[in-house]
């Protein structure tokens, strides 16, 4: 047993990290929040070039096979860089269609998703009613409580080529729903539901698997967001001087940062283990721990940066505002704890 990423897996994560490190992601996030999806789509194309989106698609449809460990390591990097857009949702749609095993649907959608030429958002029964970035995504899928899979809107065009998209996709009142993270653009799927693609128990089963992948990939993103927040705060604490000494030399500051690292370091192996074996309890444990560690990192970053951390000007805000919604997306802490309890086998006697 060797519970560490292989050299190939680490290389893949490193490649993504260096690509994203030079991609001016903060400017992309700000543009995305302002309704300009252009830089975000360009970034999407570059990410596609690494094969990232193919990791959620079977080989028969231009994919690399469903490789959750590799995908999870990749999503840590997306979180670290703060990449905007429906990355989790696109991967979840790929998995949903792969699980559904409907040849026509697979052929219609999967190759484009694998190659990053298209993007998708998704709502599932029991999850958030709000679709993420529907205005920028190529497709907006929704599964209803009755087990119907519908293609609600095909608007954004994502990938590298998309047009203007349906900017301003609307909430029930006709207005877009603003997220506390402006780079997460929310809307309610249209009430009429759109084109019926499939229905029945197979849809519900596929949706359950897709929901678990979404939960785990969000956990991986949380890990990356938390690590980025910690790294920025450590650098700040080394440089910011008060009382004639760097604030990072004070125990009150050190211990808070140590606790932040601790939470992230103990969440990481839970994410890896769930990626290897995505049983509901394992995935819930990973999401619970990574989500809480990420949010705690955000609160530490905010406090230790002082007043400047409370501004939107500082790029730190891009991660600060991401932490809370990601902690809750695809499984709130309460929902995850309930899942952990459900997954317990009766104790050994």
Partner 1 sequence: MELTHTADVEAFRAEARGWLRAHVPARPLPSLETAEGFAAHREWEAVLHADRWSVVSWPEEYGGRGADIVKWLVFEEEYWAAGAPGRVSQNGISLLAPTLFDHASAQQRARVLPSMASGEVIWAQAWSEPESGSDLASLRSRAVRTDGGWLLSGQKTWSSRAAFADRAFGIFRTDPDAPRPHQGLTYLMFDLRAPGVTVRPIGRLDGKPAFAELFLDRVFVPDEDVIGEPGQGWRIAMSTTGNERGLTLRSPGRFLAAADRLVGLWHEHGDPADTALGDRVADAVVGARAYELFTWVNAARFAAGETIGAESSLNKVFWSQYDIALHETALDLLGADAELADGAWAEPWVFSLAGPIYAGTNEIQRDIIAERLLGLPKGRR
Please say which residue, 16 or 134, places its beta carbon nearer to partner 1: 16
Among 46, 108, 240, 337, binds partner 1 (CB under 8 A): 337
Distance CA 234, CA 219 (A): 22
Distance CA 271, CA 284 (A): 10
Please say which residue, 73 or 197, places its beta carbon nearer to partner 1: 73
Q: Does the protein bind partner 1 through residue 3 (CB under 8 A)? A: yes
Cβ neighbourhood burial of 74 (10 Å; 0-12, 13-18, 19+) = buried
Q: Does the protein bind partner 1 through residue 248 (CB under 8 A)? A: yes
Q: Does the protein bind partner 1 through residue 188 (CB under 8 A)? A: no
Q: Hey, is 229 helix, strand or coil?
A: helix
Site string for partner 1, 51-80 (x = CB under 8 A): ------------------x-----------
**Is the separation of the CB atoms in 257 and 234 below 8 Å?**
yes
For 108, the token pair is 């219609």
**Least distance (Å) between residue 75 CB and partner 1:** 15
Q: Does the protein bind partner 1 through residue 265 (CB under 8 A)? A: yes
Q: Of 109-117, 138-146, 192-200, 331-339, which segment contacts partner 1 by CB under 8 A? A: 331-339
**Least distance (Å) between residue 128 CB and partner 1:** 21
Q: Of 54-62, 82-90, 241-249, 313-321, which segment contacts partner 1 by CB under 8 A? A: 241-249
For the chain, the straight-line distance linking the first and the last C-alpha, in angstroms and rounded, comes to 29
Please say which residue, 266 or 310, places its beta carbon nearer to partner 1: 266
Distance CA 162, CA 105 (A): 21
Distance CA 286, CA 28 (A): 29
Please identify which residue in the block is written with the tokens 């969440």: 267
Q: Of 54-62, 220-228, 265-273, 319-327, which segment contacts partner 1 by CB under 8 A? A: 265-273
Please say which residue, 42 or 335, places its beta carbon nearer to partner 1: 335
Q: Does the protein bind partner 1 through residue 258 (CB under 8 A)? A: yes
Please identify which residue in the block is written with the tokens 């440089």: 239
Q: Does the protein bind partner 1 through residue 310 (CB under 8 A)? A: no
Q: Does the protein bind partner 1 through residue 289 (CB under 8 A)? A: yes
For 329, the token pair is 């997306």
Q: Does the protein bind partner 1 through residue 240 (CB under 8 A)? A: no
**Is the separation of the CB atoms in 88 and 123 below 8 Å?**
no
Q: Does the protein bind partner 1 through residue 108 (CB under 8 A)? A: no
Q: Does the protein bind partner 1 through residue 129 (CB under 8 A)? A: no
Distance CA 83, CA 95 (A): 21
Among 97, 257, 298, 316, binds partner 1 (CB under 8 A): 257
Among 31, 64, 205, 250, binds partner 1 (CB under 8 A): 250
Q: Does the protein bind partner 1 through residue 104 (CB under 8 A)? A: no
For 72, the token pair is 């999870």
Buried b (16+ CB within 10 A) or exposed e, 105-138: bbeebbbbbbbbbbbbbbbbbebeebbbbbbbbb
Q: Find the helix packing angle between 280-305 and 201-239, rounded to 10°.
A: 30
Q: Does the protein bind partner 1 through residue 349 (CB under 8 A)? A: yes
Distance CA 3, CA 274 (A): 12
Q: Of 30-38, 97-105, 163-171, 276-284, which segment contacts partner 1 by CB under 8 A? A: 276-284
Q: Which residues bind partner 1 (CB under 8 A)?
A: 1-6, 9, 69, 230, 234, 237-238, 245-246, 248-251, 253-255, 257-259, 261-262, 265-270, 272-273, 275-277, 282, 285, 288-289, 334, 337-338, 340-341, 344, 346-349
């Amino acid at each position: 047993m060797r519970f560490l990423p292989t050299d190939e897996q680490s290389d893949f994560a490193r490649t993504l990290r260096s690509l994203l490190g030079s991609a001016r992601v903060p400017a992309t996030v700000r543009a995305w929040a302002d309704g300009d999806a252009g830089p975000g789509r360009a970034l999407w194309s570059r990410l596609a070039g690494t094969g990232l989106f193919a990791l959620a698609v079977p080989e028969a449809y231009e994919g690399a096979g469903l490789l959750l460990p590799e995908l999870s390591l990749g999503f840590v990097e997306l979180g670290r860089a703060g990449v905007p857009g429906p990355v989790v949702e696109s991967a979840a749609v790929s998995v949903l269609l792969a699980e559904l095993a409907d040849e026509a649907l697979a052929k219609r959608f999967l190759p484009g998703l694998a190659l990053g030429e298209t993007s998708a958002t998704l709502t599932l029964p029991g999850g958030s009613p709000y679709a993420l970035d529907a205005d920028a995504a190529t497709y907006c899928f929704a599964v209803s409580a009755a087990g119907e899979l519908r293609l609600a809107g095909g608007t954004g065009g994502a990938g590298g080529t998309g047009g203007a998209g349906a900017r301003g996709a609307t909430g029930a009142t006709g207005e877009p729903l603003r997220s506390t993270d402006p780079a997460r653009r929310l809307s309610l799927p249209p009430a009429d539901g759109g084109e019926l693609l499939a229905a029945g128990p197979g849809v519900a089963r596929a949706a359950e698997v897709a929901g678990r992948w979404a939960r785990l990939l969000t956990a991986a993103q949380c890990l990356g967001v938390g690590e980025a927040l910690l790294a920025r705060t450590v650098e700040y604490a080394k440089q910011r001087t008060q009382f004639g000494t760097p604030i990072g030399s004070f125990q009150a500051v050190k211990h808070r940062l140590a606790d932040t690292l601790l939470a992230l370091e103990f969440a990481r192996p839970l994410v890896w283990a769930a990626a290897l074996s995505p049983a509901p309890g394992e995935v819930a444990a990973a999401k619970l721990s990574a989500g809480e560690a990420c949010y705690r990192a955000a609160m530490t970053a905010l406090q230790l940066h002082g007043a400047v951390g409370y501004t939107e000007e500082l790029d730190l805000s891009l991660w600060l505002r991401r932490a809370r919604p990601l902690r809750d997306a695809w499984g709130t802490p309460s929902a995850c704890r309930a899942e952990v309890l459900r997954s317990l086998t009766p104790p050994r006697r």
